[in-house]
Amino acid sequence: MPPHQAIQEPLPELTQRIGSFVLRMLGWRTVGETPEPKKFVAIIAPHTSNRDFLYFLCLCWSLGLRPNFIGKHTLFTWPLGIFMRWCGGIPVDRTQTKDFVQQIAEIFKANERLVLGISPEGTRKEAAHWRSGFYYMALTGGVPILLAAVDYPNKEVHVGPTLEPSGDIESDMKIIAEYYKPFQGKHPKRQSPVRLSK
């Protein structure tokens, strides 16, 4: 499999059932429907706990989606690389002359289906702002941004709308910030404000 190629096979029905089962057993439920686009950048927020990844993974599985993530290419050597790819990992070489965003854009072009999961906060601790990488990955890759959220008080994982990045990042961030207003993470004091650096 080329380094830029993600696994394209449909998610097994058993895996979908496992995702739904785990969420039910944990007392959580999904809100929303499977997004229509076949490839997109999925941002998950607020991110204040390691458990957020588990809920997002189960959400994707329950909807029949195969989530992917970006990792350093050095992590994809044998034998760990086999497991990393199975989990949805896609290697990116940060030593290349191409910038990181351009590499992601080429990965999107090389795949018919791709759900790239990203935490725009970049940390489970409180940060002064979100990182803008997710936005430019979607803009350069020509794909929409899926807004997904975890809401701990109500034990819900939300599949929100998809946003086509317009190139006017300030206006688009206002829409994104408005969407995330109602949601609360496991550790509210660690939540980062939905804004970019000035």
Tens of pLDDT, residue by residue over 60-103, are 999 999 888 877 777 667 777 777 677 677 777 766 656 888 88
Say what the pLDDT of residue 7 is.
62
Q: b vs e for 69-88, b when ≥16 Cβ sit within 10 Å of the residue's Cβ?
A: bbbeeeebeeeebeebbeeb
Q: Which residue type is seen at 81?
A: G
Largest CA distance in the chain: 47
pTM, two decimals, is 0.85
Residue 4: its pLDDT value, please?
A: 61
Whole-number pLDDT of residue 46: 93
Give the pLDDT of residue 94. 65
Please report the pLDDT score of residue 180 as a whole number. Answer: 96
So where are the chain's domains? 27-182
Please enumerate in sequence order all residues whose Cβ is within 8 A of that of 102, keeping only pairs 6 or more positions apart, or say none: 140
Which residue stretches of the chain have pLDDT < 70?
Answer: 1-8, 75-76, 84, 87, 94-98, 123, 198
What pLDDT score does 195 carry? 87
pLDDT of the residue at 96 = 63
pLDDT of residue 103: 84
Q: Is residue 173 exposed (0-12), middle (13-18) or buried (19+ Cβ within 10 Å)?
A: middle
- pLDDT at res. 1: 43
What's the sign of the alpha-carbon dihedral 172, 177, 183, 189? positive
